[in-house]
Amino acid sequence: MQYINLHTHRKPQVEGEWCIRNGYTGAGYSPDDLPYSISLGIHPWLIKENGEKQLQALSASIHHRNVVAIGECGLDRLRGPEIKLQKMLLEAQIDLANTTQKPMIFHLVRSYSDFLEFTRQINVPWVIHGFQGNLAEARKMLDRGGCLSFGYRLFINSILHETLRFVPNDRLYLETDVRALKIDAVYRHAASIKALHSSLLQESLLSNARRDFA
């Protein structure tokens, strides 16, 4: 493995890429049949009714050997059902993660302050994917034990560069998410921002993945 892609919606695209592809419960296939790792969770945009059936399906699926994390799940104040329901489903998924000892991948939009109340409940490794908060928000998440993952927004939002430089390598991940972007390009760009050789990031993120997703 040369490149860890923390969160993506497609198959590996680069030689040496290990990715966690975002999956969906009830997709009609067994995760064990896939040649790559996946995460399963209830995205706040996709919550149906009260989410009870989705939670049952998730509970039944996360024991497959290729399911390495619960996610993406989280809170979104721009899109999705009322925030009260989102919080209920988030808490339920945290409980499930703690029970199964599966790491978690979070989607958070304008909800970092809401999420802080949940961080002390999480007893597994966790990562905020596509982080786009400010330096103060990054510091709070790191103080609570989380990791932060960055992707394509590093190419379009220079304000994130300061945040990326602040995040220690052992708390960092990189990703492609839904973008038509290859992970090696993200590594090169992140390395240039942090004034590091790309190989150092490769070594650090590989160590992180072995620690958090073994």
List residues bridging with 3 in a β-sheet: 17
- Buried b / exposed e across 130-140, counting CB within 10 Å, b at 16+? bbbbeeebbeb
Q: Which two tokens stand for residue 163?
A: 């945040």
Alpha-carbon gap, residue 176 to 186, rounded angstroms = 8
- Sheet with 37-40, strands from edge to edge, namely 3-8, 17-22, 37-40, 67-76, 104-109, 126-128, 147-150, 172-174
Q: Are 29 and 61 in contact (CB under 8 A)?
A: no
The token pair that represents 33 in the structure block: 């049949």
Average pLDDT of the residues in 203-210: 98
The whole-angstrom separation of Cα 141 and Cα 115 is 9
Task: Say if residue 149's pLDDT is above 90.
Answer: yes
H or E element at residue 188? helix 183-194
Tokens 């989607």 belong to residue: 107
* 80 token code pair: 């999705």
pLDDT of residue 27: 64
Residue 190 structure tokens:
């992140």
Which phi and psi angles does 60 have, rounded to 5°? -80, -15
* pLDDT one-digit tens code per residue, 83-106: 999 999 999 999 999 999 999 999
Scan for tokens 């999956």, then name that residue.
23
The Cα–Cα gap between 1 and 166 comes to: 26
Q: Is the pLDDT of residue 29 over 80?
A: no
Distance CA 150, CA 193 (A): 12
Q: How confident is the model over 17-28, as pLDDT tens digits?
A: 999 999 987 666
Q: In the prediction, which pLDDT does 31 show?
A: 83
In this model, does residue 179 exceed pLDDT 80? yes
What local confidence, expressed as pLDDT, does residue 191 receive? 98
Whether the per-residue pLDDT at 30 is higher than 90: the answer is no
For residue 125, pLDDT over 90 is answered with yes
Tell me the average pLDDT of the chain.
95
> pLDDT (tens digit, 9 = 90+) per residue, 42-84?
999 999 998 999 999 999 999 999 999 999 999 999 999 999 9
The CATH number of domain 3-213 is 3.20.20.140: yes
